[in-house]
Structure 1
Amino acid sequence: MGQRAEDTHRRLIAAAGELFYEEGIRASGIEAIAGHAGVTKMTLYAHFGSKDELVAAYLEERDRRWWEYLDEALERYETPEERLLAVFDAYRDWLVSGRLRGCGFVNFSAELPDREHPGRTVVERHKAGVRGLLADLVSGLGSEEPGELAEHLFFILEGAYVTGALEGDERGIGRARLLAESLIEDRPGPRLG
């Protein structure tokens, strides 16, 4: 793909993302997306064979950006405890940067009930990745039951994020962070330095 085609491809994904996030997937038609990107429907279909493909491509891009953002946020911390709590901070900051509209992956999964939809597959992989990250970080704590603690932290984090979006208030993630801190401190097993 040449540079011009790559630029058009990126523009289409960005336009779709803006409309999907603001209006929803179903409410965002191909014609509106193409117009928002400044291209024709034919150009859009030359890049993406269907709206489903565009949805999946947008979610892949959102997933990539999220992991870059999170990796950068976690680089500042060394201990597993600090890194676990930094995940909560990153979620809060991401929620605020999205104008408290919530998790795009959760929002889109509500619009994609078909578990075979290519976009739904991206959503499920993203959430599994978050679960896996938390499990890896909890394993670094030396906890006797890392799977259980990681699962608790995942549900607290996801619940706080959804609640923050519903209520239009990021403070719930702060409260969730305090609860996570308490669970991390009270866990059975050896403590790290």
Structure 2
Amino acid sequence: MRANKRDELLQKALSVFYQKGFNATGMDLLVKETEISKTSKYKYFKTKDDLILATLRLRDELFRNTILRRMEELSDTPKGQVRALFDALGEWFASEEFRGCMFIKASSEFQDPSHAIRRQSAEHKLLFAEHIQRLLIEAGYRGTDILTRQLMVLKEGAIIAAHVSQSTTAAEDAKEIAEKLLEDAKL
């Protein structure tokens, strides 16, 4: 079954925004890259910001589904899944499509904390952290609020190191530190 025009536009726009950035991608470039007319774009999205928000929601769904599913494939226990986060990230970093974090990029391009795009980026990070915290609670760790924040700093730092510094060991380095944090937080 062929995706509807709106879904097709979202998929293509997500790819263009991820590769080229949000502010650097004007509507004319989107028309050229997606081969979908401005008329069609404005039929589904009143503004470019509306299109960006929709692509971020799609990216959130795709990213969380992919990473969380991979964590579950790598381990069938909550404790193992937390550790597997860094293995799943390492696989993403090594993939050809890795271009850094779309949400970090969006936050850097839309810096006003009250901007809807910035809030959507923060929501993605919050949803991911909440999942990790649930796993930590299920695994019986103590101090899950602090531990979650620390693991998220490691996750975000690994993403930046892999993208900006092109580190080939970012995920492994973060996992090594995470192991120490997890060991210290055992009951």
TM-score exceeds 0.5: yes
**Residue of 15, 18, 32 corresponding to 1:18:** 15
Following the alignment from structure 1 to structure 2, what is the Cα–Cα distance between the partners of residues 135 and 175?
Answer: 21
**Is contact 2:158-2:170 (8 Å) kept?**
yes
Following the alignment from structure 1 to structure 2, what is the Cα–Cα distance between the partners of residues 56 and 117?
Answer: 11
Q: Which amino acid aligns with 2:41?
A: L
Q: Which residue of 2 aligns with 1:159?
A: 157
**Residue of 129, 134, 138 corresponding to 1:140:** 138
Q: Secondary structure at the match of 1:102?
A: coil
Q: Secondary structure at the match of 1:75?
A: helix
| Amino-acid identity (%) | 27
**Is contact 1:95-1:103 (8 Å) kept?**
no
**Is contact 2:64-2:128 (8 Å) kept?**
no
Q: Which residue of 1 aligns with 2:29?
A: 32
Q: Which residue of 1 aligns with 2:55?
A: 58
Q: Does the C-alpha gap of structure 1 residues 74 and 62 become closer, same or farther in structure 2, counting only changes over 3 Å?
A: same
Q: Secondary structure at the match of 1:140?
A: helix
- RMSD after superposition: 1.9
Q: Give the count of matched residue pairs.
A: 186
| Structure 2 portions without partners, runs of 5+ | none
Instruction: Report the more deviating stretch, 61-70 or 91-100.
Output: 91-100
- 1:102-124 superposed Cα distances (whole Å, 9 cap, x missing partner): 11110111001123333222211
Q: Which residue of 2 aligns with 1:126?
A: 124
Q: Which residue of 1 aligns with 2:115?
A: 117
- 1:25-52 superposed Cα distances (whole Å, 9 cap, x missing partner): 0110111112222122111111110000
**Is contact 1:12-1:34 (8 Å) kept?**
no
Q: Which residue of 2 aligns with 1:186?
A: 184
Instruction: Report the more deviating stretch, 60-69 or 140-149.
Output: 140-149
Equivalent residue runs for 1:78-93 within 5 Å: 78-93=76-91
**Residue of 89, 99, 108 corresponding to 1:101:** 99
Q: Secondary structure at the match of 1:107?
A: helix
**Is contact 1:102-1:165 (8 Å) kept?**
yes
TM-score by length of 2: 0.90
Q: Secondary structure at the match of 1:143?
A: coil
**Is contact 1:53-1:118 (8 Å) kept?**
no
Q: Which amino acid aligns with 2:126?
A: A
- 1:51-104 superposed Cα distances (whole Å, 9 cap, x missing partner): 000000100110110122123213322222210011112222223335442111
CA shift, 1:188, in A, is: 4.3
Following the alignment from structure 2 to structure 1, what is the Cα–Cα distance between the partners of residues 89 and 54?
Answer: 22
Larger Rg: 1 or 2? 1
Following the alignment from structure 1 to structure 2, what is the Cα–Cα distance between the partners of residues 71 and 22?
Answer: 23
CA shift, 1:144, in A, is: 2.6
